[in-house]
Amino acid sequence: MNNNTYEITKRGEMPDGTKIQVENWEPVYPGLSEPFYCVAYPISKANCTGCFAPKTGEKFRAAFSFPTLKAAETVFNALKTGTAQLENYIEYIDNYMHIPAITGRK
């Protein structure tokens, strides 16, 4: 593996068609406390603040960070099978300003 790039370890879709993947950023940022991500590309449910922030109806990147690959894969599997939704993992979101885009609430 190239030490300057991250690794996508799993790809899939949620039942609603939202693309999801698991990313390992450890090779890029050694020592990062939570280098494993479950990433989704949902459609924003609300406008978020900022010129580059998600706007209602637009697809955006929502990253949820975890300390272990196993934790990120567990979330991926729950999202893929539909036993959980993105809102269930809001406490792990990498950018708290994206919360309204996921929940539809400000």
The pLDDT value given to residue 93 = 97
- Going from the C-alpha of 36 to that of each of 9, 17, 66, 99, the distances in angstroms are 10, 22, 5, 19
Percent of the chain having pLDDT more than 90? 81
Q: Which one, of 93, 88, 95, 102, lies nearest residue 18 by Cα?
A: 102
Q: Where are the domains of the chain?
A: 7-103
Q: Which one, of 12, 73, 14, lies nearest residue 38 by Cα?
A: 73
The pLDDT value given to residue 85 = 98
The pLDDT value given to residue 32 = 85
Evaluate if residue 3 carries a pLDDT over 80.
no
The strand pairing partners of 7, in sequence order, are 24
**For residue range 41-84, what is the model confidence (pLDDT) as tens digits?**
999 999 998 888 999 999 999 999 999 999 999 999 999 999 99
Q: pLDDT category, 17, cuts 50, 70, 90?
A: very high
Alpha helices in 1-106 (DSSP H): 69-81, 99-103
